[in-house]
Structure 1
Amino acid sequence: MRRLGITRRRGRLGRAVAAGVACGAALATLTVPSAQAGTLHHPAPHWELKNSGTPQVRFRGLSAVDRDTAWLAGTGGTVLRTTDGGADWRDVSPPGAGDLQFRDVQAFDARRAVVLAIGEGETSRVYRTDDGGTTWTESFRNTDPKAFYDCLAFFDHRHGLALSDPVDGKFRILSTGDGGRSWQLLPADRMPAALDGEAGFAASGQCLVTSGPRDVWLATGGGAHARVLHSADRGRTWTATDTPVPAGDPARGVFALAFRDRAHGLAVGGDYRANQPSPRAAALTRDGGRTWQPATTPPPAYRSGAAWLPHSRTAALAVGPTGSDLTTDGGRTWRTFDTGSFDTVDCTADLSCWAAGEQGRVARLEP
């Protein structure tokens, strides 16, 4: 979306996140006696900041491979990679990209990754590397001045999609079947019409997300309703559903989605303006996005990123400029555990979670 981009608790909360990092599956059945009953207090979990060496860069693109390896994409055409848990970061930015704004990255491993630059016309581009960022190949450059690409997502190492704001009244979708080496425009005839002013938010690389081999969801804002569109056939056909997240303004809507399977998903967002409240800034679905229910206790402010803790059926994280929150009941209630600024979050199968944001901030969650 143009307007954005060119734009402690201890006790149960602390133990829940710590357990999620150590063993995400245990969170689903975690029971903790009250402090009055004599439960020992454990240290609260926290984001352990890593020195990226780039305080001038805002990282809205993040792809965590495992506890050791993660990729960052940000302003000034910046792409960083670590393979030692964040102790050292290598600048692997594509040459000649200094004027671009990278907002999304999909890493398949320590050597293979795809990055998306956002913007009007030819500033929307996709690059791919197969050698850890030593060399890059530009695989897509937008030539339509009405298109503006926001985010991308992959089903597997070969199949993926990229999302543009509406062109001629409908969202535009690119598809790849070769890992991002080439892209084809999908027909728009089965895409629902966009609402007046509706678009995606290039805030965290999570306005387009997948689960499994064929299901994909895209999040919207800016229109009369904040909607989630779903496709069960890799973007060929779509249906749209309203969410309870407030919209009706260019700065409001759903900014990020997270699905742990094809049925259970989370939506977070709000109003990204710092001086505006964000009530009802989270919602959840148990039927693949056909219906959405508001969180009974949402995050206290706008959130731009979300991720399920690995191997957990009930625990997830949300992040934004004013803090990070945890849910341990599938998105019904959220509690803030950190007040630092992050824009995006990602968790991996080996039970690690990473976050990134403004002023070069990057961190890994520690118990």
Structure 2
Amino acid sequence: MRTILTLITSLALSLTAQAQFEIQDSHSTASFRGIHSIGDGIAWASGTEGTILRTTDDGKTWQRCTTPPKADKLDFRGIQAFDQNTAIVMSSGKGDLSRLYKTTDGCKTWKLVFTNPDATGFFDSLRRVTSKQLYLLGDPVSGKFSMFLSQDSGDTWFIADDPGLEADKGDGAFAASNSSLLSQGAFLFFGTGGAISPHVYFTYLKCETPTSSACAMAWMKSDVPIASGSPASGVFSLAARMTTDLSGKSRTAIVAVGGAYDKPEISSATAAFSKDGGKTWNVATTTPAGYRSSVAFISSVGVWITTGPNGTDISRDDGKNWTALKPGPNDAPDADKNWNALSLPFVVGPKGRIGKLRPDALKP
């Protein structure tokens, strides 16, 4: 009997792990969906009512930035930083409520660098790809997803009218965590949702002939087995890592998370994974315990982490199985819940919530 009880206890412990989140004081009540940690203790966060925060001491203190001009009512869903002084923040909203502002003086002042040119457009995700190159994803306009590109660190923008961005009727992207658009190596990916079927779009080189050196970037899309059927369901976030097989060939492993935003307690089909760079997908065998809005890969420990309004989960097998990450003895009781976006070690959520994952939290 003692042996059986020991086995049962061991099994129960294996189904959860301790979260070890430290809740930080943001001195704000804004709802945060933008977070970008760039290392060396520097991170930027963004949220509702034109709110932008910055830390340069690894989260010990968060500085409230100057609100950009005419932005006190904007919802800043995404932010991308270059260093402790330079960042670009993205607001989301219909038409000209979708804007980009840039600071180069540690957020003392901001300059409006781009406004959505389409009256029906909506910015979803901003991604810095290189030291000077950024991409910006927006909802479909005239039947095509909007993609914009900057090659001068965000000072000027133009339309990246690549082939293959056509959208199915009712398809759209999500601005829930600024992570529906992903860059991995030389390739871009973005996730969608809607009333019909979620997709992941991915880039490839379209050459004039099989042996031609004249190649242009184009897009393809694949179906993803994540919850669908409503405008509030689909792929909300993507993360990726490079893998190498036994023959030495490199492959891109991708994890997609989401579900139904308006039904966060439903755990069916909330995560999927791809082993071939997004071409084919499998639904997770053991899924996260509800809708998830953000996912990230932690290369130092080989762990994927995803979070949302009702919990946080981790995977150690490239997204096939997920385990709930529960608060530890030194955590707040709700430390695993009420989160919107990840940029590790930081996580942000509604009502001014900012947390930091302790360095040893995910060790086996």
Report the TM-score when normalising by structure 1.
0.83
Question: AA paired with 1:218?
Answer: F
Task: Please state which structure has a larger fraction of its residues in helix.
Answer: 1
Task: Please state which structure has a larger fraction of its residues in strand.
Answer: 2
Equivalent position of 1:279 in the other structure: 268
Alignment check: 8 A CA contact 2:264 2:310 kept: no
Q: Distance in 1 between matches of 2:126 and 2:8?
A: 43
- SS of the residue aligned with 2:146? strand
Q: Distance in 2 between matches of 1:191 and 1:232?
A: 10
Alignment of 1:1-367 (within 5 A): 44-55=18-29, 57-66=30-39, 68-92=41-65, 93-188=67-162, 190-212=163-185, 214-232=186-204, 236-261=217-242, 263-274=252-263, 277-312=266-301, 314-338=302-326, 339-347=336-344, 353-366=345-358, 367=361
Q: Gaps (5+ residues) in structure 1?
A: 1-32, 348-352
Q: Distance in 1 between matches of 2:357 and 2:40?
A: 10
Equivalent position of 2:209 in the other structure: none
Deviation at 1:222, TM superposition (A): 0.7
Q: Gaps (5+ residues) in structure 2?
A: 1-6, 207-215, 243-250, 327-335
Q: Distance in 1 between matches of 2:205 and 2:129?
A: 11
Equivalent position of 2:245 in the other structure: none
Q: Distance in 2 between matches of 1:145 and 1:202?
A: 18
Count, aligned residues: 322
Alignment check: 8 A CA contact 1:186 1:236 kept: no
Deviation at 1:276, TM superposition (A): 5.8
- SS of the residue aligned with 2:36? strand
Alignment check: 8 A CA contact 1:126 1:139 kept: yes
TM-aligned CA distance change 1:275 to 1:267, over 3 Å? closer
Alignment check: 8 A CA contact 1:163 1:171 kept: yes
- SS of the residue aligned with 1:228? strand
Deviation at 1:67, TM superposition (A): 5.7
Deviation at 1:94, TM superposition (A): 1.8
- Residues 86-137 of structure 1: CA distance to partner in whole angstroms, max 9, x if unpaired? 2211111323310111001111221111111111111111111112111211
Question: AA paired with 2:325?
Answer: F
After superposing on structure 2, the runs of 4+ consecutive aligned residues of structure 1 that deviate more than 6 Å are 33-37
Question: AA paired with 1:74?
Answer: G
Question: AA paired with 1:359?
Answer: K
Q: Distance in 1 between matches of 2:93 and 2:10?
A: 55
Q: Distance in 1 between matches of 2:356 and 2:122?
A: 31
- Relative contact order (alpha carbons < 8 A, sep ≥ 6): 1 or 2 greater? 1
Deviation at 1:157, TM superposition (A): 1.5
Superposition RMSD in Å: 2.2
- SS of the residue aligned with 2:41? coil
Equivalent position of 2:210 in the other structure: none
- SS of the residue aligned with 1:105? strand
- SS of the residue aligned with 1:71? strand
Deviation at 1:226, TM superposition (A): 0.5
Deviation at 1:236, TM superposition (A): 3.6
Question: AA paired with 1:197?
Answer: G
Aligned-pair identity (%)? 35
- SS of the residue aligned with 2:193? coil
